[in-house]
């Protein structure tokens, strides 16, 4: 397959700007202020740790900032093959003018200095976004985030509900819910009322989605209201000590009610399915979770059926589940394949997943990509990686194999990258 | 990989004619009589529905035929990327001389008129088959189908047993069984006797296989005869109201007995494994079923072991299960990978599945492809798609990577496409 | 992708010599002494059987040696497409000067004669190893193997513990354990003491690893010591008649204690996960086992967490589980993807698995390949196959797509093929 065909498609795709419909950006400190903000990303700390750098050196208390950087940098050459390592080099070179071949114990201070300098320049965050072709970044906000102090049209609020659904009994959660909703939360009725108020406030503040990550064993269902009321009572009374069956019913009931709120507020509900938390407690910060493929999207059929008016952008963490995701999106109008998440966000996996999606799911339903980033800089290499894979798949599967024109192939790519995220999260506008 | 190598292999493969060992053709109305017969195929209605066309507009009662077509056609551009859309264009262009670039609200009547005209010409059905390189088409017949009124050498009967196995207690099923078998069915013994008579009649009428589709949770086993007798009694007495455990035992017992009948009648028993029915009750006709990958072919080991003389052509609906299918066919003489089914019948999935099969399963055991079609026209684009993927895999994996001659690669392809289906379903003849 | 780029990388990779970290070689009879030793490999007998050659003809008692060979040879053309068939031809041509295009009923005696002749030449085994680029071959030794009579630096002992873990109650096993350990084994304490002695003896005799194959349902855990003591007592008393729950606890307890022994002796513990034994009892010798993908590496998290100082080279038998393997190796420092095992040891499967591993797991942790061979000759075609796939993936994913230099790509390949196995099994030496 001619590489210059791929390059042409990639060039065309790279002329577009688009939204980034899922990230963990802190809008008041969006860009990195030094190399520590880049190398502190869990992809680097966890790979360094996996490659043998002790956790104590990476994030131990009392370890100096420079020593932490030394530790991660020392590990870099051990994972120089990974795509994550290539992200680092693209950031260093293209955003910060780094000219060495790789980041080493001897030269990282130069890179650090460049980052510190440029990040102090006015408009730097906007400049990074522009280089990344990103117009707006979706956030991941706690339910009681005040959503103030930033431009919500550029940094778009998104209601993250993991804490409400899975940690209802944790000390403080209900109190915070009551405080942010402005009502007492002492019963199931008040709990759902409070959830509704939270969702309404998010919508009022410009939120464009609700989102949750889900463990493999979760089974969404519309629980009996009396059982829900009893279980809420138990959890309110006993917190984390409440019986597991009560906690499960509360999770199911709150999850279901969030879907109702999404329907009322016309918010897409992002489902990120299949993460198992805390599998490796000895891992570094944010490097302790893994996946478990023993689930089926059939577990979610009751939900998809119950809320035909709610759009569910769905990410699966286990690569083999992509075929189910394709099949469910092929049939259910409200199921939309959503980006390439975490352990499935590497080029060869994206390529396989993408070619399956492109040949069997309506083009208007494919939500191409999101960065999942914590610092703005990562939007740049991640979207670049995605565009390259997308260009390759379009070239191979559509231009070469199906005889499409290059223009038609690019146009299809723009549906994924630009138009569909825009329409799905902002409403019919094109 | 040179595209002209692929084209040469494809050209050679396209010179062959072959059987189509699984379809849903109605032999007395085999070809389409208008565009409604083409666009009424569930692939189009379900994709249009998935892309946002309301079910009411597609198949609502009282909606005029033209309005239904308008609805599906309006959805076409939303799934112009899918391989199913390419099937439509191939049929329109190559079989019906349609010359526009795509089917639109403005031009579908022209296509409809062409179909209506040609389908009225004498010998049109045979002409479609000829263009599709198909010599004989296997059907999917109810157990009480009279199997009369058509040429059973061209339209080959196949005994479909889903209804007997999974809906024994449904009103009318047992009565129909008794009627077609010509005996009373009031006990387990009479039931199995009747099954035997059905199988014998099918064999006498030229049937070449029995077939069944199976849900992911089904566990084939040789149930205890006394338990079977008791459960049959319960189901005969109570129908669908019989306890689930009774219904499960009846399903298992009948399934097992069908395998015995296949042994007696020397019929291959097609197993199509992994469909979950009615997952999306809001879907269009035939667009409500999905898959669930939580099974293993190890669940079928008892069956494969118990019937060494029965050939089991096996299709799996979940793409990740292809590796198990390859492995089981590599070991069990009576397990044969069978085509590429439904949600796994798209080019990129076929390509992955096929390359695995071709490198590890004896070439004499690979049953290449079947159309699964409801109208004859679909054999044309589906087999064309399959030949293209087959040519690509043979070119890449055998000619380029393993240094095979083009002749040898084509010969391997003809095993899959022509010889193996012929030998397996018609007996040793080459 | 230019084939000459692949050829150049392959040429460079082929200049290296390396260890073979897993095989079933019998060091006192390492090379084949005739064609029967080659065609007796289960890959050939099981594929011939799967393709229709009766087991009786392949391995029936009283069947003459020549007739057995005739039977397998008669089946060869039916699986001439398989990669296993290509192994045979490579051995025949490159090691034994066979010049015909394929092995047939008419020419196999010529090949047999060549093997018989050359295998009698002094230094033949060493010559085969040299042609295979293999410096040392790891064995699979029973726990009471005397480990004497061979050069343990060339034929490296490896403690296989399946029998101890899963067949503790089988007549003779405990007696053999007591004999080899030199102590009575009449209690849990004595059992673990004996296991420790076995491991120490292996380490003293140059063993470089312990290894086990594991069924899909196995759940490793640190069982309660009192329960373990009770269950050991039951199994010592009742053998295979002991209750299944006792046998399971004994398996779990011994497995866990083997991990402790690996920690004490600083031995990597190879886990080969997902085989279901005896699925096809009608199969030929060693051709009766299959796989079942219904497991998750999350089942092993407790083990990986409990033994951070033990290196676990992990093979999975089910291709879809490779994504979990990649993800777990990306996070857990002590989990290392290990080769391509059995049903996953075919080129297209290796290619997919390898490209995922190479883009997300630290390069220092990838243990490229092992032969799993029973006779030395098979190291030649198997490693050749692996190098070809490795060269292709490096060329495509690194040189073409990521712009790496050829030198850098080859260097990455040598990590997998040479350096990592050396360092992991022999300790830090580079």
CATH of the domain at C72: 1.10.2020.10
> How far apart are alpha carbons C139 and B264 in whole angstroms?
48
Contacts of residue C11, defined as CB under 8 A and 6 or more positions apart, other chains included, come to: none
SS3 A297: helix
Question: Which residues from B are below 8 Å from C75, CB to CB?
Answer: 362
Asked whether the CA dihedral C263, C266, C267, C271 is positive or negative, the reply is positive
Tell me the pLDDT tens digit for each residue of A340-395. 999 999 999 999 999 999 999 999 999 999 999 999 999 999 999 999 999 999 99
End-to-end CA distance of chain A: 34
Does the residue C95 lie in any domain?
yes
pLDDT at res. A396: 97
Question: Which residues from B are below 8 Å from A400, CB to CB?
Answer: 3
Percent of chain C with pLDDT over 70: 99
Percent of chain B with pLDDT over 90: 98
SS3 C211: strand
- What is the number of other CB atoms lying within 10 angstroms of the CB of residue A172? 11
Does the residue A11 lie in any domain?
yes
In A292-366, DSSP assigns E strands to 312-316, 335-337
Q: Which residue in chain C is spatially nearest to A287 when comparing CA positions?
A: C331
> C159 with C209: CB under 8 angstroms?
yes
- What is the number of other CB atoms lying within 10 angstroms of the CB of residue A320? 23
CA distances from B20 to B212, B417, B421, C402 (A): 17, 9, 8, 44
SS3 A64: coil
The answer on pLDDT for C430 being more than 70 is no
Half-sphere exposure of B151 (CA within 13 A, CB side): 8
pLDDT band at A300 (very low <50, low <70, confident <90, very high): very high
Beta-ladder partners of C141: C159
Which other chains touch chain C, taking contact as 3+ CB pairs less than 8 Å apart? Answer: A, B
pLDDT band at A65 (very low <50, low <70, confident <90, very high): very high
> How far apart are alpha carbons B158 and B270 in whole angstroms?
10
Whether residue B238 is found in the same domain as residue B319: yes
Q: What is the mean pLDDT of chain B?
A: 97
Is B292 within 8 Å of A298 when comparing Cβ atoms?
yes
Whether residue B199 is found in the same domain as residue B293: yes
Rounded to an integer, the average pLDDT of A148-165 is 97
pLDDT at res. B168: 97
Tokens of B18: 């072959």
Does residue B105 sit at the C interface (CB-CB below 8 Å)?
A: no
Does the residue B4 lie in any domain?
no
- What is the number of other CB atoms lying within 10 angstroms of the CB of residue C396? 17
> How far apart are alpha carbons C266 and C260 in whole angstroms?
10
pLDDT band at C3 (very low <50, low <70, confident <90, very high): confident
Whether residue B307 is found in the same domain as residue B180: yes
Residue B102 has what DSSP assignment?
S
Asked whether the CA dihedral A199, A202, A204, A210 is positive or negative, the reply is negative
> B192 with B164: CB under 8 angstroms?
no
Is C343 within 8 Å of B326 when comparing Cβ atoms?
yes
- Residue A327 has its nearest CB partner, among B79, B83, B291, at B291
Which one of A286, A311, A337 terminates a domain?
A: A337
Does the residue A359 lie in any domain?
yes
pLDDT at res. A429: 47
The answer on pLDDT for A1 being more than 70 is no
* Domains identified in chain B, total number: 2
Half-sphere exposure of A58 (CA within 13 A, CB side): 28
Whether residue A172 is found in the same domain as residue A290: yes
> How far apart are alpha carbons C415 and C393 in whole angstroms?
14
> B332 with B371: CB under 8 angstroms?
no
- What is the number of other CB atoms lying within 10 angstroms of the CB of residue C60? 12
Does residue C402 sit at the B interface (CB-CB below 8 Å)?
A: no
Nearest to C254 by CA among C310, C295, C212: C212
Percent of chain A with pLDDT over 90: 98
Q: What is the CATH number of the domain that holds B329?
A: 3.20.20.140
> How far apart are alpha carbons C349 and C362 in whole angstroms?
21
Whether residue B111 is found in the same domain as residue B143: no
Nearest to B114 by CA among B31, B33, B43: B33
Element (H, E) at C10: helix C3-13
Is A86 within 8 Å of C402 when comparing Cβ atoms?
yes
pLDDT at res. C87: 98
Tell me the pLDDT tens digit for each residue of C334-348. 999 999 999 999 999
pLDDT band at C1 (very low <50, low <70, confident <90, very high): low
pLDDT at res. B430: 43
Tell me the pLDDT tens digit for each residue of A409-419. 999 999 999 99
Tokens of C157: 């002992």
Tell me the pLDDT tens digit for each residue of C31-89. 999 999 999 999 999 999 999 999 999 999 999 999 999 999 999 999 999 999 999 99
> Which of C1 and A102 is assigned the larger pLDDT?
A102
Which one of B337, B369, B391 terminates a domain?
A: B337
User: Choosing among B330, B334, B357, B410, which should be mutated to test the C contact, i.e. which has the most C CBs within 10 A?
Assistant: B330
Is C280 within 8 Å of B301 when comparing Cβ atoms?
yes
The answer on pLDDT for B189 being more than 90 is yes
Whether residue B256 is found in the same domain as residue B214: yes
> How far apart are alpha carbons A207 and A197 in whole angstroms?
13
> A236 with A186: CB under 8 angstroms?
yes
Tell me the pLDDT tens digit for each residue of B274-328. 999 999 999 999 999 999 999 999 999 999 999 999 999 999 999 999 999 999 9
Burial (0-12, 13-18, 19+ Cβ within 10 Å), A228: buried
Give the residue numbers spanning the domain of A353: 1-31+124-138+342-430
Rounded to an integer, the average pLDDT of B347-373 is 98
Question: Which residues from C are below 8 Å from A51, CB to CB?
Answer: 333, 362, 364-365
Q: Determine the length of chain A.
A: 430
Does the residue C53 lie in any domain?
yes
Whether residue A331 is found in the same domain as residue A352: no
The answer on pLDDT for C232 being more than 60 is yes
SS3 C338: strand
Does the residue C238 lie in any domain?
no
Kindly report the nearest CA distance between residue C234 and chain B, in angstroms: 31
Percent of chain B with pLDDT over 70: 99
Question: Which residues from C are below 8 Å from A280, CB to CB?
Answer: 301, 304-305, 331-332
- Residue A276 has its nearest CB partner, among C298, C355, C398, at C298
Is B3 within 8 Å of A400 when comparing Cβ atoms?
yes
pLDDT at res. A3: 83
Tell me the pLDDT tens digit for each residue of A186-195. 999 999 999 9
Whether residue B112 is found in the same domain as residue B150: no
Rounded to an integer, the average pLDDT of B198-202 is 98
The answer on pLDDT for B119 being more than 60 is yes
Contacts of residue A213, defined as CB under 8 A and 6 or more positions apart, other chains included, come to: A162, A272, A273, A275
pLDDT at res. A2: 79
Residue ranges of A 116-175 with Cβ closer than 8 A to chain C: none
The answer on pLDDT for B391 being more than 60 is yes
SS3 C334: coil
Whether residue A100 is found in the same domain as residue A224: no
Nearest to A251 by CA among A142, A185, A194, A166: A166
Tell me the pLDDT tens digit for each residue of C146-199. 999 999 999 999 999 999 999 999 999 999 999 999 999 999 999 999 999 999
> B62 with B52: CB under 8 angstroms?
no
In A331-412, DSSP assigns E strands to 335-337
What order do you get walking across the sheet with B335-337 strand by strand?
A: B158-160, B209-214, B269-273, B312-316, B335-337
Does the residue A143 lie in any domain?
no
Q: Which residue in chain B is spatially nearest to C292 when comparing CA positions?
A: B296
CA distances from C365 to A40, B370, C331, C356, C392 (A): 22, 44, 11, 13, 20
Residue ranges of B 352-381 with Cβ closer than 8 A to chain C: 352, 355-356, 358-365
Is C331 within 8 Å of A281 when comparing Cβ atoms?
no
Rounded to an integer, the average pLDDT of A51-73 is 96
Does residue C342 sit at the A interface (CB-CB below 8 Å)?
A: no
Q: Determine the length of chain B.
A: 430
> A201 with A143: CB under 8 angstroms?
no
Tokens of A197: 């108020």
Does the residue C420 lie in any domain?
no
Q: Which residue in chain A is spatially nearest to C298 when comparing CA positions?
A: A292
Half-sphere exposure of C227 (CA within 13 A, CB side): 14
pLDDT at res. A430: 43
Does residue C331 sit at the A interface (CB-CB below 8 Å)?
A: yes
A384-A35-C331 Cα angle (round to 5): 70
> A175 with A143: CB under 8 angstroms?
no
Whether residue A306 is found in the same domain as residue A165: yes
- Residue A327 has its nearest CB partner, among B83, B290, B388, at B290
Whether residue B143 is found in the same domain as residue B200: yes
Q: How far is CA A117 from the centre of its chain?
A: 29
Helix C83-90 and helix C379-393: axis angle, to 10°?
A: 120
Whether residue A181 is found in the same domain as residue A285: yes
């Amino acid at each position: 397959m001619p590489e210059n065909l791929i390059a042409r498609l990639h060039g065309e795709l790279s002329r577009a700007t688009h939204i980034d419909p899922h990230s963990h950006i802190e809008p008041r400190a969006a860009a990195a202020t030094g190399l520590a903000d880049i190398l502190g990303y869990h992809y680097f700390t966890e790979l360094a740790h996996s490659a043998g750098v002790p956790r104590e050196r990476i994030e131990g208390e009392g370890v100096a900032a420079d020593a932490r950087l030394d530790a991660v940098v020392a590990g870099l050459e051990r994972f120089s093959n990974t795509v994550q390592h290539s992200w680092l080099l693209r950031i260093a070179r293209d955003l910060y003018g780094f000219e060495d071949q790789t980041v080493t114990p001897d030269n990282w201070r130069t890179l650090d200095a460049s980052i510190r300098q440029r990040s102090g320049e006015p408009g730097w965050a906007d400049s990074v976004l522009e280089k990344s072709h990103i117009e707006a970044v979706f956030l991941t906000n706690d339910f009681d985030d005040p959503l103030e102090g930033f431009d919500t049209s550029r940094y778009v609020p998104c209601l993250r509900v993991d804490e409400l659904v899975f940690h209802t009994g944790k000390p403080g959660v209900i109190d915070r819910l009551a405080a942010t909703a402005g009502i007492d939360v002492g019963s199931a009725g008040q709990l759902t009322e409070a959830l509704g108020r939270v969702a309404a406030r998010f919508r009022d503040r410009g939120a464009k989605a609700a989102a949750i990550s889900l463990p493999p064993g979760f089974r969404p269902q519309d629980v009996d209201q009396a059982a829900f009321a009893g279980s809420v009572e138990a959890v309110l009374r006993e917190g984390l000590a409440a019986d597991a069956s009560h906690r499960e019913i509360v999770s199911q009931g709150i999850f279901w009610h969030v879907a109702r709120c999404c329907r009322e507020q016309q918010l897409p509900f992002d489902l990120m399915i299949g993460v198992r938390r805390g599998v490796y407690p000895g891992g570094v910060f944010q490097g302790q979770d893994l996946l478990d493929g023993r689930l089926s999207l059939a577990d979610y059929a009751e939900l998809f059926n119950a809320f035909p008016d709610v759009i569910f952008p769905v990410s699966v963490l286990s690569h083999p589940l992509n075929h189910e995701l394709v099949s469910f999106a092929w049939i259910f109008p409200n199921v939309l394949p959503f980006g390439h998440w975490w352990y499935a966000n590497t080029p060869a996996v994206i390529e396989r997943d993408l070619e399956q999606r492109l040949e069997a799911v309506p083009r208007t339903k494919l939500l191409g990509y999101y960065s999942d980033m914590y610092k703005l800089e990562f939007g740049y290499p991640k979207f670049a990686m995605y565009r390259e894979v997308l260009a390759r798949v379009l070239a191979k599967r559509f231009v070469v194999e199906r005889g499409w024109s290059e223009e038609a192939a690019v146009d299809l790519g723009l549906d994924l990258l630009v138009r569909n995220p825009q329409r799905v999260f902002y409403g019919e506008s094109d």
